[in-house]
């Protein structure tokens, strides 16, 4: 099974978060597309996905803090649950787990967490921002993956060849 495309029904209305979600979808699809590739390609793509998920959650939580989002702690708890699975994937990647098992773990993470999280948890934050313009201004813009690589905050050796989230 392939991970779905990012479609308009997944837009939250917060462009910075939506842009990062597009990148996550692109990277997830790329990871799952390397099923038949050499194991090193699977590990490289998986490593970047794990790093980007961690960055994305940190950026979202910081934005929520800046906006004074009242459901921040609940959102963080959900992120913490997902982080446990993501950290398991990181450990499996570092241990060079059999690539097909690693890809299955990633597919399950995406299916079980990613889509429901966007629709059920991220969208209410975007709605809060749209109802509180002063919070929107406080949040500002979230950095792009390319900017993070350029700043040295994401490792370029894990970047996919067509990562352009501008």
Domain ranges of the chain: 15-153
What pLDDT, on the 0 to 100 scale, is given for residue 165?
A: 44
* Residue of 84 and 35 predicted with greater confidence: 84
pTM: 0.77
Question: In this structure, how many other beta carbons lie within 10 angstroms of the beta carbon of residue 79?
Answer: 21
What pLDDT, on the 0 to 100 scale, is given for residue 157?
A: 57
- Select from 99, 132, 163, 122 the least CA-distant residue to 10: 122
CATH architecture of 15-153: Up-down Bundle (1.20)
The share of the chain scoring above pLDDT 90, in percent, equals 10
Task: Calculate the alpha carbon distances from 155 to 34, 61, 114, 148, 152 in Å.
Answer: 20, 21, 23, 9, 7
**Mean of all residue pLDDT scores within the chain:** 79
- Per-residue pLDDT at 92 exceeds 60: yes
- Quickly state the pLDDT bin for 162 (edges 50, 70, 90): very low
The answer to whether residues 34 and 43 touch, using CB atoms and an 8 Å cutoff, is no
Alpha carbon distance 160, 49 (integer Å): 9
Alpha carbon distance 10, 33 (integer Å): 21
The answer to whether residues 48 and 113 touch, using CB atoms and an 8 Å cutoff, is no
């Amino acid at each position: 099974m392939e991970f779905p495309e990012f479609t308009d029904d997944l837009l939250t209305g917060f462009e910075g978060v939506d842009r990062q979600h597009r990148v996550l979808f692109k990277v997830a699809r790329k990871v799952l597309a390397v099923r038949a590739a050499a194991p090193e390609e699977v590990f490289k793509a998986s490593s970047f996905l794990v790093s980007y998920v961690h960055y994305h959650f940190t950026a979202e939580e910081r934005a929520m803090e800046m906006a004074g989002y009242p459901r921040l702690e609940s959102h963080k708890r959900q992120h913490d649950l997902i982080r446990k699975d993501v950290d398991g994937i990181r450990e499996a990647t570092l241990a060079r787990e059999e690539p097909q098992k690693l890809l299955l773990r990633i597919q399950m993470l995406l299916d079980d967490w990613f889509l429901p999280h966007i629709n059920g948890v991220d969208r209410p934050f975007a709605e809060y921002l749209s109802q509180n313009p002063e919070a929107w201004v406080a949040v500002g813009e979230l950095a792009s993956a390319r900017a993070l690589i350029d700043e040295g905050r994401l490792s370029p050796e894990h970047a996919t060849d067509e990562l352009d989230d501008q």
